[in-house]
Structure 1
């Protein structure tokens, strides 16, 4: 069994550095061992996605920006084999942009995309997070960063119970469901 960190960002607008919330769930040896969520003050008060996640500038204006939050969350990245996200391309882009904006060193781990993992392991279609959560019987408050990252972590744990491992990471036709982006 692996050590991994499941990540989910919510963003204020279309800018990849506009993270306004983050959920982080650490899995180790087949179980969840730590859960954290934080509001983040994005660089701009422009919120276009309130209708999706319910967050507004007023919710986050007194929260730390990503650079100030980083010392609190960086230890969660230490010692993990990989990062996991549902639609990893999105979350890896947000992480990369937020780190770049605040001149922070990027975590070195690869992302495993749980969309690809669910398709490869169980042939789930469609593979939006609510669909996969329903398939696996997981509770989900979609677009709540902690709930989404917990569901993502539970997808990885279910895949590991069903024989998947990050080290091999292959489905039955030889397609690897690992990194969208190596960061």
Structure 2
């Protein structure tokens, strides 16, 4: 499989408050490249979110705003590109809302949610949170809610699923964004 995995962390409940993001490029089931950045949001920081991911306002004081980040990553969001995430509705929403906040048109791409694939392929799990699925598949998740570690884990989950079950059951769950 060839795809890009993504993950966002946010400063608050506002979907346009991206504070970090990561991308991992997978070619022929091998992780070949990764990208991680902090992002300076134009939003307040909620203590609840900071407690989850540990990123503070001081951490992003010199970080780029999202339009600068977008210039580096927009080539990964094309009509024929598969972009995956664990809980993709959240990450797709953060991307869409952050782009909209800056008046940037949202791209069209193919999306796959590894929460959905995990629910379908591993119904016996007690839940389908990233750390639960990673543990069940013996995938190392170093720091949960670190965007890069979460992205790597999601990519490895999909690669494992493709190897265990084949690509066809996964294709049925691809959505056009």
Would you say 1:145 and 2:144 are equivalent positions? Answer: no
Please give the residue correspondences for 1:164-183 in structure 2 after superposition, counting only pairs within 5 Å: 164-165=166-167, 169=170, 176-179=172-175, 182-183=176-177
Report the counterpart of residue 134 of structure 1 in structure 2: 135
What SS does the corresponding residue of 1:162 show, helix, strand or coil? helix
Q: Which moved more, 1:59-68 or 1:14-23?
A: 59-68
Instruction: Supply the distance in 2 between the matched residues of 1:61 and 1:47 (Cα, whole angstroms).
Output: 16
Structure 2 residue 92 is the aligned partner of structure 1 residue 108: no
Q: Which runs of 5+ in 1 are unaligned?
A: 171-175
Q: Aligned residue for 2:45?
A: 46
Q: What do residues 45-102 of structure 1 show as CA deviations (whole Å, max 9, x unaligned)?
A: 4333110000001001211111111111223335863111111111010000111112
Distance 2:108 2:161 in 1: 23
Q: For residues 86 and 107 of structure 2, what CA distance do their matches in structure 1 show?
A: 18
- Residue 8 of structure 2: SS of its match in structure 1? strand
Q: CA RMSD in A?
A: 1.8
For 2:25 and 2:77, how far apart are their aligned partners in 1?
Answer: 9
| Unpaired stretches in structure 2, ≥5 consecutive residues | none
Alignment deviations for residues 6-59 of structure 1 (CA, whole Å, 9 cap, x no partner):
111000001000000001111111111111110000112433311000000100
SS in 2 for 1:62: coil
| Structure-1 residue corresponding to 2:76 | 76
Distance 2:9 2:130 in 1: 14
TM-score under structure 1 normalisation?
A: 0.87
Could you report, residue by residue, the CA deviation over 1:91-127 in whole angstroms, capped at 9, with x for unpaired residues? Answer: 0100001111122232311221101111212323310
Counterparts of 2:87 and 2:34, CA distance in 1? 20
Distance 1:164 1:21 in 2: 32
- Give the corresponding residue for 1:173: none
Three-state SS of the structure 2 residue aligned to 1:119 is helix
